[in-house]
Amino acid sequence: MPMTLGYWDIRGLPYLIDGPHKITQSNAILRYIARKHNLCGETEEEKIRVDILENQAMDVSNELARVCYSPDFEKLKGEYLEQLPGMMKLFSQFLGKQTWFVGEKITFVDFLAYDILDLHRIFEPKCLDAFPNLKDFVARFEVHQYSVPPGSGKVSVPLLRSGNVKLARIPYPLKISAAVELGWGCCWLPAPQGSRWRLQPGL
């Protein structure tokens, strides 16, 4: 029997119900949560950089997936490795001397950038060696991502997985936290208080 949310059949899709708002698709959920916490950039220039990096991360993710899931993986791997330094150079130039990719304040695209860089470290462990600012970014992000400030109301809990979404369920009155994964990694952001996350049966 179809499960619908608005116009969409949501079988197999992550979705979020937050009060009157009903949202499907990983990207839409991520942006919705990011907007609630002012993680989409503040100035027009920052918002432009967010949009650019979001789309660049998607392009790179799709290209890497094309190689990794291809039956011609061994052939395509060599070609991909040849262009990899140039790709990493573009990320390095975009980051520059900033703390985060958009400026001095973290935004949701830093999560996407981290996931792209981390996947490429798995693909080619030395790919960041020529780019100290990217290595510093990765190290800084890992400290930022996994640190839990005292009194923040956050706790470490096991993750549940549903399609492209990881959910961390924390009993009330603590906030529910969610990690929205865009097919290549996970982004930890606090979910709206009182929102409902659904796991599809059998996933």
Q: 73-106: per-residue pLDDT in tens?
A: 999 999 999 999 999 999 999 999 999 999 999 9
pLDDT reported for residue 106 = 92
Angle between helical axes of 132-146 and 108-123 (0-180°, round to 10): 120
Residue 43 has pLDDT above 90, yes or no: yes
* Cis amide bond preceding 173, omega within 30: yes
**Claim: this prediction has a pTM higher than 0.85:** no
187: phi then psi, degrees, rounded to nearest 5: -125, 120
The pLDDT of 144-159, averaged and rounded, is 46
pLDDT reported for residue 188 = 40
